Amino acid sequence: MKESINVTLKRKDFDDEAIDTKETKRHLTNPPYRSRINSDQDLWKTVSVLRQDCRTSGIIPKLEPNLKNEDTQYAYLCSDSTDYISTGIMDLGWGCGYRNCQMLMSFLEKEKQDGDYLLKQVIDISSIQLLLEKAWQEGFDPLGAKQLKNHVFKTRKWIGTTEVYTLLAYLGIRSTIIDFHQPGPQKLHKDMFDWIQSYFTSNITTKKGKKVYTTHRPPLYLQHQGHSRTVVGIEILKSGKRNLIIFDPGRRMLRSFTKKRINYNEDTESSNEEEEEPEQEEPEQEEDEDEEEDEEIDIMNDHKTISKPKILFKANKIQ
């Protein structure tokens, strides 16, 4: 692992305190723990399933036509089990961490190991908060619990990489945090792009003349200053430049979807979007829908720089 990459659970407010991970390690090295959590009927009766109309499935395969242009050399996408989930009116401005967590869960819900699904169900925001507090009560991430005053349930408190890691650990899912805290020349994160490219391409053994590959990889949770997103792939251009293909929960999915592609270019640190115009059935609504689309573009323009990014990914071998 390169020197510029650190795996850490430390928080900047408590760097001088040691982190006791003994309890967490005990759970992570105990394979039956996930099965016990999934079979705990009393636990799952206390949580609520995310409504199906809050999820958009089948987006990953629809990205492929957008990546077959002349400038693209290769593109690699995560598992097509991944759903797109956006923030709603009630969590606008603070719910991105929860929504990205739910996108990871949408993959885990459909994947099996030893005949059992990795996750029983995708849960709503209040349920994520409830399980996070239960994890703290069992000794997971005591410093994170201290920073958030041991309470997030029914609040608008933001969560980030460490909270999502803690929740996955509590559910018996093995994951890792990688901190790219020092950018390279021109404030670009070349090491991060190298790592993401390796992550998506490492299990591709032969090219077989294809340009776009859908892998079995889980998506990546990408946290940077002020926002988080879900990385669902990487595009490698013939010029050598690379784009991250991203699901942003702060963006609403247009009805037409669905040729939407949101990229982060490693050389420009800017975001770009390509999408179809929605069909206008009623002329009198055209002006309102155009205003809505402009508002969405403004949201993206607020986040042009990736600052101090952290990536949470699910390891190949799951406990």
Confidence band, pLDDT 50/70/90 cuts, at residue 205: low
**What distance in Å separates the CA atoms of residue 225 and residue 222, rounded to the nearest whole number?**
10
* Active-site position among 83, 179, 191, 248: 248
**Pick the catalytic residue: 27, 189, 224, 227?**
227
Distance CA 67, CA 142 (A): 44
Taking residues 37-46, what's their average pLDDT?
Answer: 85
Q: What is the pLDDT of residues 79-100, one digit of tens each?
A: 999 999 999 889 999 999 999 9
- Mark whether 83 is an active-site residue: no
Considering just the CA atoms, what is the radius of gyration of the chain in Å? 20
Q: What is the pTM assigned to this prediction? A: 0.74
pLDDT above 70 covers what percent of the chain?
A: 69
Provide the pairing of β-strand 227-237 with 271-274. Answer: unpaired
Task: Judge whether 227 counts as a catalytic residue.
Answer: yes
What element of type H or E holds 42?
A: helix 41-45
Residues in the chain: 319
With 70 as the cut, is the pLDDT of residue 41 above it? yes
CB 263 within 8 A of CB 271: yes
What confidence tier does 265 reach under pLDDT thresholds 50, 70, 90?
Answer: low
- Parallel, antiparallel or unpaired: strands 72-77 and 212-214: parallel
Q: Residue 176: beta bridge partners? A: 313
For residues 119-141, give the mean pLDDT: 95
Q: Which residue has the higher pLDDT, 57 or 294?
A: 57
pLDDT of 232 higher than 70: yes
Say whether pLDDT at 68 is over 70: yes
Is 224 catalytic? The answer is: no
> Rounded mean pLDDT of 14-37?
51
The domains of the chain, with CATH numbers, are 33-257+296-301 (3.90.70.130)
Spot the catalytic one: 27, 83, 96, 179.
96
- Report whether pLDDT(186) > 90: no
Is the separation of the CB atoms in 106 and 82 below 8 Å?
A: yes
| Residues 99, 19 contacting (CB under 8 angstroms) | no
Q: What is the pLDDT of residue 1?
A: 40
- Compute the mean pLDDT over every residue in the chain, rounded to the nearest whole number: 76
Per-residue pLDDT averaged across 254-260, rounded?
A: 47
Q: CB neighbours (10 Å) of residue 136?
A: 21
What is the Cβ-side half-sphere exposure of residue 269, based on CA atoms within 13 angstroms? 18
Greater pLDDT, 101 or 295: 101
Q: What is the mean pLDDT of residues 169-196?
A: 89
